[in-house]
Structure 1
Amino acid sequence: MGLLTAEGSRRIARAVEDAEKSTAGEIVVAIIPESDDYAARELVFAIASGFIASVIMVIFSEQLIQLFDSLLWIDSALLFPLSMLAGALLAGSSAYALAQIPVLDRLIAGRHLMTEAVRRRALRHFTESGVYDTVDRTGVLLLVSVLEHRVELIADRGINKMVAANSWENIVAALVKGIKKGQTADAIEKAVRDIGGILAEHVPPRADDVNEIADVPTELEKGS
């Protein structure tokens, strides 16, 4: 299932089209489930969980050996190391599975790593989508990364030098607030209009202006 409904995508595309009628700038919207798979952090979490499980079993080794002796006709000297290995593997695999839950994944990844991942993914799409290569260098990319609860706005140098940083920051803050309320399409649509207003003020349309980049929002693949 897409991150945006078909109607939401159409509304955003119309908002981009309408905004660009008043400016020579370009607005590109992209949305991605997550900007990184954070596999390394998840693996470390799983290994650490397995290690902790082993330590706990060592601490309670005497009680566990007594339990094995009372329940099973097996040499506990052999069974205990095997049970430690099984316990560590079970704890590690369970931890790795739990790490796929978004709220836990965010805790494991950490704020700094997620911020860097979203920034890198936005910069990559800024290049791949051609936002960096508009005629007047006045393209603006708006990327929403769902897992991280992050929004990255990158304005090319042609427009960025004309606009105060807090103007972009206010747009991002309002967008994040709207997404948290579950109003993703509405919030993106408003952000597009606000970006369009800034572009119209500083970069009016040219007589030979053409639409350089498609208006439809791009839904990127997870971690791509």
Structure 2
Amino acid sequence: MAENNTAHPSFARWWRQVLFVPLMHSKWLTVAAKARLTAKVTSAERGHRGEVFLIIENHLPIQQAYHMGCRERAIDLFSEYRVWDTEENTGVLVYVNICEHSLEIVADRGISAHVSPTVWRAMCDKAVAGIANQKTEESLLELLDEVGQVLRQYYHLEHDPAGNELSDTVVYLK
């Protein structure tokens, strides 16, 4: 989560997307890993009224990469996947961009009223550090737990009816 939501045009960013070879970078994202991440999203949603949505993307869309950074892409996906469209505005998108080694959290206005951007940024930074140490799946699992804990703190439900406004399935954009 960056304070400045506008990416500067960048040929370097565009070239990284063009030259990105996903097979080398996303070996960790196996069918079993996707299943574990999906199960963790389900687990992170228990005990509160919030929704957690995870998107993993190999690279930014080539046609947009010159003008768009990961933060802007995350905001676009937050809208496209309707993470904002929860009853109490408690949707949280976790966006991972493999090529850019970037992780963004976009939280809807309901939860943003309680949690400062610095808290979300600290969570992202911790996960990015784990990813840099080749612990991608473990870092994402821990991050999803932390997001669930934050949502429980502000939107606790003692008797969770297991309602689900958004899919728990990890979205993988190649």
Smaller-chain TM-score range?
0.7 to 0.9
Task: Confirm or deny: 8 A CA contact 2:51 2:86 kept in the other structure.
Answer: yes
Q: In structure 1, which of residues 115, 129, 136 is the aligned counterpart of residue 88 of structure 2?
A: 136
Contact 1:24 1:209 (C-alpha < 8 Å) held by counterparts = no
Counterpart position of 2:31: 6
Q: Of the candidates 217, 220, 223, which is equivalent to residue 170 of structure 2?
A: 217
The residue that corresponds to 1:55 in the other structure is none
Query: Could you tell me how far apart the structure 1 residues matched to 2:140 and 2:119 are?
Result: 16
Amino acid aligned to 1:132: W
Larger radius of gyration: 1
Paired positions, count: 148
Which of these residues, 34, 37, 41, is aligned with residue 59 of structure 2? 34
2:154 aligned with 1:202, yes or no? yes
Give structure 2 stretches of 5+ with no counterpart.
1-22
Residue matched to 2:118 = 166
Q: How much has 1:208 moved relative to structure 2?
A: 5.5
Match of 1:188 among 140, 144, 154: 140
Query: RMSD of aligned C-alpha atoms?
Result: 2.1
Unaligned runs of 5+ in 1: 42-112
Aligned to 2:103: 151
Q: Distance in 1 between matches of 2:153 and 2:132?
A: 29
Secondary structure of 1:133 counterpart: coil
Structure-2 residue corresponding to 1:44: none
Partners of 2:48 and 2:160 within 8 A in 1: no
Alignment match, 1:75:
none
Change (3 A) 1:129 1:187: same
Structure 1 residue runs of 4 or more that deviate by more than 2 Å after TM superposition: 36-41, 205-209
Q: Deviations over 1:43-84 (max 9, x none)?
A: xxxxxxxxxxxxxxxxxxxxxxxxxxxxxxxxxxxxxxxxxx
Question: Identical aligned pairs, as a percentage?
Answer: 29
Q: 1:219 to 1:161 in 2, by over 3 A?
A: same
Provide the rounded CA distance (Å) in 1 between the counterparts of 2:87 and 2:48: 13
String of CA shifts for 1:160-181, please: whole Å, max 9, x gaps.
1101222111110011011111
Corresponding residue for residue 15 of structure 1? 40
Could you state the TM-score of these two structures normalised by the residue count of structure 2?
A: 0.77
State the TM-score, normalizing by the size of structure 1. Answer: 0.61
Letter in 1 for 2:31: A
Q: Distance in 2 between matches of 1:169 and 1:39?
A: 24
The letter for the 1-side match of 2:61 is D
Which has the larger helix fraction?
A: 1
* 1:194 positional shift: 0.3
Residue 104 (structure 1) aligns with = none
